[in-house]
Structure 1
Amino acid sequence: MFSLVLSREITDDESAILRDAGCADAVFATDSLPTNADVTVTKLDFDDTVSPSLAEAIESALAAVKQVPDLSVPGLTVPAVPKAADADSEVLVGEVVASETTTA
């Protein structure tokens, strides 16, 4: 799950371009620019469960944005995800064992 904040509000035609370029499952919403609340922008929220990794999903979304002239991504939000405890893992305490050397 991640969000892209675009540099401006997009048109319906630009929205169609983004959807065709790989953002079909994104939720499009109007928002304000984080650095200037007076500027209206479009925000895309992604919950990609198809891409092999989060990095690949983000790269795909950024590549789609490049398909629209004069559009950029001034903001990317990736919520922190706590590491899940692995029930099968355990911490082992060990000791250093001196190695024996042999001569032939």
Structure 2
Amino acid sequence: STEEYVSRIGRRESTAIDIRRLAADERLGDALFTGLRLNDGIDLSAIQARYGVDVWRRYGGELDGFVHQGYLRHEGARLRLTRPGMLLAHEVMAVFV
């Protein structure tokens, strides 16, 4: 409730009701989802360093079609949505789920 929330803040307690630790694949998926929403997209080498996953090796077969259709741009170590790809972002990001 709102009262409980305000009361917890007043007591300097956590307002979190439900905390759940994400599995490694969930953290990776969140990073990819969030990164693709940025204009600069994802730094694939940074993702590999942080999560130990080669994104292109794991998802490239599915992502390649989006690249060829002009919805994704794969430039060096970066992967980003193109302007038309932003309109289909959910379809592209579904690859990571």
Please, what TM-score do these two structures have when normalized by structure 2? Answer: 0.32
Structure with bigger helix share is 2
Q: Which has the higher contact order (CA 8 A, sep 6+)?
A: 1
Taking structure 1 as the reference length, what is the TM-score of the superposition?
A: 0.31
